[in-house]
Amino acid sequence: MLDQLNTAQREAVSAPRQNLLILAGAGSGKTRVLIHRIAWLIQTQAVSPLEILAVTFTNKAASEMKTRAQNILNHPIQNMWIGTFHGIANRLLRTHYREAGLKQNFEILDQTDQIRVIKQLFPDEKETPNNTELRDIANQFNRWKDQGLRSKHIDTLGNSPGYYHRLYEQYETLCNKESLVDFAELLLRAHELWLNNQGILDRYRERFRHILVDEFQDTNDVQFAWLKILAGQENYVFAVGDDDQSIYSWRGAQVSNMYKFQQTFENVRTVSLERNYRSTENILNAANSVIKHNKARLGKSLWTESNEGDKIRVVAMINEFAEAQFVAEECYRWIRYEIYRPADIAILYRNNWQARVLEQEFNQVGLPYRIHGGLRFFERAEIRFALSYLRLFQDPQADIAFLRVVNVPPRGVGQTAMDRILELSKGQNLSMWDAAAIAKDNQQVLPKAKRSLNTFSHYISNFNQRRDNLTLRQLATAAVYDSGLFEYYGKDKGETGRSRQENLKELVLAAEQFEQSHKDRLSVENPNATKEEACALTAFLDLVALDSREQQGSDTEAINLMTVHAGKGLEFPCVVMVGMEEGLFPHHASSFSVASVEEERRLAYVGITRAMKQLTMTFANSRTSFGKSLALQGHSRFLNEISKDHCIHLTYKDDTLVPRFSTKSPPIRTSEPAASEEVNHHKHERVQHSMFGDGVVVAEQGDGASRKLQVKFSNGKTSWFLADTDFLTFINH
């Protein structure tokens, strides 16, 4: 088991039973160490899988952890608890819902639903905050929960509660009444479950003797407290993390938890994993030279036995349009000459809005690309509507689901009827479902709305009463087809309508596949499950709510565009980091705090260490955002921190790359005709494109360097190109 590990990895995996802090640098094999530690405990220390709790931050990571551990041990470990913090908290609350003060079928609120609930705190529509303000309110609530604070715990220094505090009190009351649990609440209430129930805590302490935590630098205050109380004095924590990659403080993560670990837990042994298996020597040296400028760090330096590799290219641009053109040309060259596949390339940026110009240029030249962190499957409108129907099949009293679909598809429940339902709900402290039943007899509600409410209530009641006798696929089919959603989207004869119908079909398939896997898992993990625990509908809705927090993955053969935050945990042979300007990266908002600048530096470190073989970093002399010029202050300080021994500085100008401060201008292109041999291409000329094949020029526009040609290809695609582009070969010449 230890043969394939290096010295530091072996030390971590085979350490005696004690609290361990593993400082795992980027690309140092931290997941391998964590997996091997699990296998080591089971195989050589006679630890039962039932005694192990392994916690991480995404379902994908948890699934990979379990699969790899089973492969090493060569036998299944289904009974072992491996999951995300939120998933395990949900499991605890589902099991001990009474002790946690919840209804058995409590509802998990995703981020959108949380906003809907907060909106209910404002009965006067004129006083309702806009969406940005509502998100700010939600973020404040979540921050308080991440810190373990209920409204009664917030110190007002003797003053009356402030605006957010009063709203927080009302939000708690509403959520408790409706048994609604947001993501932050899952963690806080699970922690309180142990705090307030010594017997339950003792039971889990006795069971989980070994607690392994991945990405420890991303834990918040509640998660740290949760781990501390579970470990107690008798159990052992194996924490794996990298303080140099702590980049989620805006999400509540506390890098200080890495430092607190040694003071909080007894007899802590620290092991540093510094050998990098990912990047070349130049890339690692650049990363080390940047991160060493941070003062608050535990300290380690990555090294590799890999080759020196290419020097990092730091390229100066006139503006963001030149930057996008340069990136597109480089990507095209790498793909055309088979230096890299599209999926090998990642374009990283500090803010999502930077992708717009890149997308525009990639579309112009026909480069395949994918935006990471785009709208995920379960967040699409048509899917959310279908899921709301499923939620009502489970519990008609679910107010959020009721409000979302009572008139989707449109069925004649107008604003007057909805106002009356809301009025009755608030005035008589009723659920929307019960208020709707009363509203059907109200004279103010139009006959058409009454008929529609009757039809809707009969439809929901029918499937609610029959849900235990129907498969999850049958319920999903009802939510998609019987509800009228599929037919409704079919009225849109364009691509959008077809796409939405395909998504709804995919949901039915997903439900069927989940139900089978749910049955298989229960047969091994919990064969004596209660009727409610075995309910595939509840488990499916829980999975969807928890999965909505994670990034969507894809194996599509396309160039990867993403923020540096989204790139964490990924690696690519070729990386381009764009927008390396002071005021953009580091972000101007970080300039007021040393801690914020250090987090920005850690973010730059994460971006650099995503690259395996080649790294290019670009900056622009001027840049606009949403039509306004940004107040930039030259290139990023992080570029200055990279030793000149590891990089080469270049300037992109007039379609050439030239070394900065040099009088020579060696062009990238070798086939371009000299000025005296300039060729003007016109309509009807035949062309060749390496991806789209044969085509013909069908239109022309502009003059000089800005002259463009429109080409129609034999595959039917039509695109505009600059006349002097390298992407086209003119067959007549």
Q: What is the dihedral of CA 226, 64, 514, 508, to 10 degrees?
A: 110
Question: Residues 484-490: contacts with CB within 8 Å, 24+ apart?
Answer: 484/409, 484/411, 485/382, 485/385, 485/386, 485/389, 485/408, 485/409, 487/409, 488/408, 488/409, 488/410, 489/382
Cα within 13 Å of Cα(164), Cβ side: 16
Question: Which of these is catalytic: 568, 602, 610, 613?
Answer: 610
Chain centroid to CA 614: 25
Question: Which of these is catalytic: 9, 10, 30, 107?
Answer: 30
Degrees to nearest 5, angle at CA 400 with 56 and 149: 50
State the SS3 of 67-107: HHHHHHHCCCCCCCEEEEHHHHHHHHHHHCCCCCCCCCCCE
In 473-485, which positions are buried (b, 16+ CB within 10 angstroms) versus exposed (e)?
A: bbbbbbbbeebeb
Q: Are 400 and 107 in contact (CB under 8 A)?
A: yes
The CA distance from 332 to 325, in Å, is 10
- Report the sign of the C-alpha dihedral through residues 536, 542, 543, 545, in that order: positive
Pairing outcome for strands 728-730 and 686-689: antiparallel
Q: If you write DSSP's letter for every residue of 313-327 in order, what string do you get?
A: EEEEESSHHHHHHHH
The CA distance from 85 to 675, in Å, is 64
Could you confirm whether 214 is annotated as catalytic?
yes
Beta bridge partners of 694: 688
Residues 6+ apart with CB under 8 A from 184: 141, 142, 145, 146, 222, 252
Cβ atoms within 10 Å of 104's Cβ, excluding its own = 13
Question: Which of these is catalytic: 185, 192, 215, 399?
Answer: 215
Q: If you write DSSP's letter for every residue of 360-401 in order, what string do you get?
A: HHHHHHT--EEETT---GGGSHHHHHHHHHHHHHH-TT-HHH
Could you confirm whether 245 is annotated as catalytic?
yes
Question: Which of these is catalytic: 113, 146, 178, 214?
Answer: 214
Question: Which of these is catalytic: 9, 120, 245, 354?
Answer: 245
**Bond into 659 cis (ω within 30):** no
Could you confirm whether 30 is annotated as catalytic?
yes
Question: Which of these is catalytic: 31, 223, 397, 725?
Answer: 31
Q: Residue 309 carries which DSSP code? A: -
Could you confirm whether 31 is annotated as catalytic?
yes
Collapsing DSSP to helix, strand or coil, 51 comes out as helix
Could you confirm whether 7 is annotated as catalytic?
no
Q: What is the identity of the amino acid at 607?
A: G
Cβ atoms within 10 Å of 260's Cβ, excluding its own = 13
Known catalytic residues are 30-31, 214-215, 245, 610
